[in-house]
Structure 1
Amino acid sequence: MVISEQAGKRGIREYIDFFLRYPQFREHAYVFSSEKAAKDILALLDPLERSSAESLREMANLKLGTRITALELGKSIEGPGSSVILSRMLILPPEPDQDKLTTTPYVKGLSLYKEDRYVKTVKEPLSVGVLLLAKELNNIIMPVEFKPLKGSFSIQPIEIQTVLKPRIVNQQWSMKVDVQTRGEVVLNTTDADLTDPAVITKLEQEWSAKLTTLAHDALDMSQKELRTDLFKFAVEFRRYYPNHWKKQEKNWETIYPELDVEVKVEAHVVRTGKSTGPQGIPNEDEN
């Protein structure tokens, strides 16, 4: 299912109601957002797949953004957070000798919804912070650089775990976000030697700092600009503090923008690739 941002500005509650009621639609079908009209995405003749539907499903399976089903979309919009994050689809330009429809869609950015209305498009690098807090960050390669080295390291996370820990002490609501990630260096364009423990330690510190900064940027946008709980913090408070939540549920829109959020990121490099030398050059004893 594809919903254009233009349609999203008018509200999508009636579309969701129809999708979930009409028996020929699958409630577990994936839902995407599009910059252009939805029919332009669905009309594509992907040269690698039997239909545009197959192409979209493969995009979802690649986990390049969020994977939201029609049922999850309805629950998110009607849930305590009243928000949803959709992967944004664009159309790859066709080859010069191909028909304009003979091409494929691709994922680039996110469309953010408050209640049932589209409110903002987010692109990299901010989208990385949004996906990290939303527990949807997968299949990404991140450049990390630090002075005085020239060049950068490219790290692919192997595993990312984001744990939300709500707290209410003396009527003060707060949230601790604990992120644990392990990754592999897939490219090194610096002159640094990854067999040096000091280089690995510094790389882990800079990677942790970068993820922390992106998470804080996403929080600032969510709390201060949109004033919308994009990351389902409300769900965690309802789960851990049901009595407090029942009393303050109606005040969540006021509580969330002022919520004290602590982000802690621990990033570890556990693999450095087949070559440990700089710029992928094999050591002499490896030849």
Structure 2
Amino acid sequence: MSKVIYRTKHTLLKKMLLFSTLVVPVFFVGGCGDRTEINDLAIVVAATIDKSDKGQVELAIEIVVPKSMGSNQGEGGGGGGQATLVRSQKGDNLPDALSMLQADLSRKVFWGSCKVFIFGEGIAKDGIQDSLDFLVRDPLPRERAFVFVSEGEAKPFIGHKVPLERNPAEMIREMTARGSVNGVTLLELDEMMLNEDHSASLPYLTIKEEETSDGTLSELPKINGTAMFRKDKMVGVLTESTTRGLLWLKDRIKEASINMTPENVEGDLSMTQIKSKVNLTPKISGGEWTMIIKVKTEGVVVQNSTVLNLDDPKQVKKIEKAFGKQIEDRMRKAIEESQDMRVDAAHFGKEFHRKYPKQWKTVKGRWEEVFPEVKIEFVIDAHIRSRGFVDESIKERGSGN
């Protein structure tokens, strides 16, 4: 509890310091010779943190090029000018690397616009606690900036052109903001690290190659699963498909597409989930720890390649059963893989602690051993809200006429 209170006070203090840094100087514009103007700032939009070959920390920052700020550029940084540039330095730790980097720049590093922090896989496996401590302790990094882990080194994920957005950081942030991936802010990561289950998860970035209009290959960042952390060290990766199950468990799915084949039916259906609510109910009985997962969800049929008639209540029930089974299978796979890694990414431990505080005291020091033995029960309530503009599939209408 003391840690939580400390972090809460620290967050308020951080906001006050940030306010004073950005707003208070406005009142002293006239005649103030030591004020910091925007022309004196190196505005950071993204930062990467890697482990160097010699075991040092390498910090790379993507900085807005001042000349590009006033130009009328097209989407994706077009117009011939370079919108951002990347600078990096190495140090014994993150503050040391930052001081070395600052010494190389003519402008003061400004974190207020940094929306993305990426940890390289090497430093993630070694442990991110020290770097995280600096980022949440310093008043300027935004606590609502998103945090990621990259496959291999993180530095190659910034500084190049991408379609539609001004820079890779903006592209990654927009993909995360849509809610289709496991987005985690700096503040949320800090809170996860303070949980008694000692588990955390971050979106996992990979590079995908995409052919451009002129036939060349462009390397683009892709969110491709979830990096799993026990304490502050990365221990494995959930696939993109399994990550969807984790998002359901954490009740963070905004919209999802599901393809399924009902039992004893040829063809398949595609549905879009438009509403979902998940409740976790812990139960301890006879020394056995069980998590009851109740899911209530609604979906819309967007394609029907079967002969099922959506105007027939019995056939609709068959579809709803398949719909619920798909969700259960994905959640079960996410839990099983999490238990194999001994990472409580859905934070079952928090729910047991809340309902059974006395029993929790007996296991909190060894939760990573107890969590893999937790039993799972599902209660799925899946409904079809809309069946589109027609009830019969094209196959059924074609066979009937």
Q: TM-score range by the shorter chain?
A: 0.7 to 0.9
Task: Give deviations 1:61-104, integer Å, cap 9, x for gaps.
Answer: 11111121111112212311211222222334241637766x64
Task: Write the deviation string for residues 120-161 of structure 1: whole angstroms up to 9, x where unpaired.
Answer: 222243233222223233322010102443221111111111
Identity of aligned residues (%): 30
Equivalent pair of 2:271/2:303 in contact (CA under 8 Å): yes
Structure 1: gaps of 5 or more residues: none
* SS, match of residue 154 in structure 1: strand
- The CA deviation at 1:52 is 2.2
Q: What is the CA distance between 1:191 and its match in structure 2?
A: 2.5
Match of 1:191 among 270, 287, 307: 307
Task: State the shift of 1:201 in Å.
Answer: 0.5
**Residue 228 of structure 2 corresponds to residue 228 of structure 1:** no
User: Would you say the 8 A contact 1:78–1:115 is kept in 2?
Assistant: no
Structure showing greater relative contact order (alpha-carbon pairs closer than 8 Å, 6 or more residues apart):
1
Q: Find 1:274's aligned residue among 370, 383, 389.
A: 389
d(CA) in 1 for partners of 2:121, 2:199: 15
- Preserved contact between residue 187 and residue 279 of structure 1 (Cα < 8 Å): no
SS state at 2:378 partner? strand
Corresponding position of 1:261: 376
SS of the residue aligned with 2:146? coil
CA 1:71–1:188: 2 relative to 1, 3 Å: same
Contact (CA 8 Å) 2:307, 2:396: kept in 1 or not?
no
Task: Determine which of 120, 139, 143 is the counterpart of 1:27.
Answer: 143
Aligned length, in residue pairs: 281
Which SS does the other structure have where 2:209 is aligned? coil
Per-residue CA deviation, residues 12-36 of structure 1 (Å, 9 max, x unaligned), is 1122112112333111111122224
Closer/same/farther in 2, CA of residues 29 and 98 from structure 1, 3 Å limit: farther
Runs of at least 5 residues in structure 2 that lack an aligned partner in the other structure: 1-116
- 2:333 partner amino acid: D
Q: How far 1:198 moved relative to its partner?
A: 1.8
Larger Rg: 2
Q: Is the Cα contact below 8 Å between 1:187 and 1:280 reproduced in 2?
A: no
Q: Deviations over 1:173-210 (max 9, x none)?
A: 32211111111111112232212212210011112122
The match for 2:330 is 214
C-alpha contact (below 8 Å) 1:192/1:277 kept by paired residues: yes
Residue 205, structure 1, aligned to residue 321, structure 2: yes
Question: Bigger CA drift: 193-202 or 119-128?
Answer: 119-128
Greater shift in the superposed pair: 37-46 or 57-66: 37-46
- Residue 170 of structure 1: CA displacement? 5.0
Q: TM-score, normalised by structure 2?
A: 0.64
Given the superposition, is the C-alpha separation of residues 202 and 9 from structure 1 closer, same or farther in structure 2, using an over 3 Å criterion?
same
Shift of 1:119: 1.6
Whole-angstrom distance in 2 between the partners of 1:104 and 1:242: 47
Confirm or deny: 8 A CA contact 2:226 2:240 kept in the other structure: no
Distance 1:39 1:99 in 2: 22
* Mapped pair 1:152 → 2:268: yes
Given candidates 160, 166, 173, the residue that maps to 1:57 is: 173
Name the counterpart of 1:16: 132
| Aligned equivalent of 1:239, options 350, 354, 357 | 354
User: How large is the Cα RMSD of the aligned pairs?
Assistant: 2.4
- What residue identity is the alignment partner of 1:12? I
Cα distance between partner residues in 1 of 2:121 and 2:272: 31
**Cα shift at 1:279:** 4.2
Amino acid at match of 2:298: R
Structure 1 residues 37 and 280: alpha-carbon distance in aligned structure 2, compared to 1, 3 A threshold: farther
Per-residue CA deviations over 1:234-266 (Å, capped at 9, x if unaligned) read 111222223332343223233222222212211
Cα distance in 2 between the residues matched to 1:17 and 1:280: 59
1:141 is aligned to 2:264:
no
Residue 42 (structure 1) shift:
1.7
